[in-house]
Amino acid sequence: MAPNHVPIKNNDEGRSSAETAQAGAMPAWQPDGPNLRFKEMLKVTRVSKSKAYELIKKDPAFPKGIPLYDSERSPKVYRVSDALAWIEMRSNKSLTQ
């Protein structure tokens, strides 16, 4: 093991969080709340920033942000449920092709 590598331990059985997620005992990702910031939404959907902007314009199913203020440049939040629904829709689409 590399000297700078410290394994992340799960409190239950001593397995790393990645091992536990692979075993199906717990999801690999848990949201902090019902909403995501843009960077968090990118991590959930696994798309780049430039691809996300392209999808926002072209894909009507891609999560659209909810402005926090009544301003054109307002920061936006994204619903976790919308991001997960988009991923599920993409998954179903790829399975039926």
85 and 50 assigned to the same domain:
yes
35 and 23 assigned to the same domain:
no
Tell me the per-residue pLDDT of 66-95, one tens digit each, with 9 for 90 and over: 999 999 899 999 999 999 999 999 998 888
pLDDT > 90: percent of the chain: 57
Residue 85's closest CA among 97, 93, 95?
Answer: 93
84 and 62 assigned to the same domain:
yes
Kindly state the tokens that stand for 16: 């790393």
What CATH number should be reported for the domain holding residue 48?
1.10.1660
Radius of gyration of the chain (CA): 17
pLDDT-based confidence at residue 10 (cuts at 50, 70, 90)? very low
56 and 23 assigned to the same domain:
no
20 or 64: whose pLDDT is higher? 64
pLDDT higher than 90, residue 7: no
Structural domain of 56: 31-96
The overall pTM is greater than 0.85: no
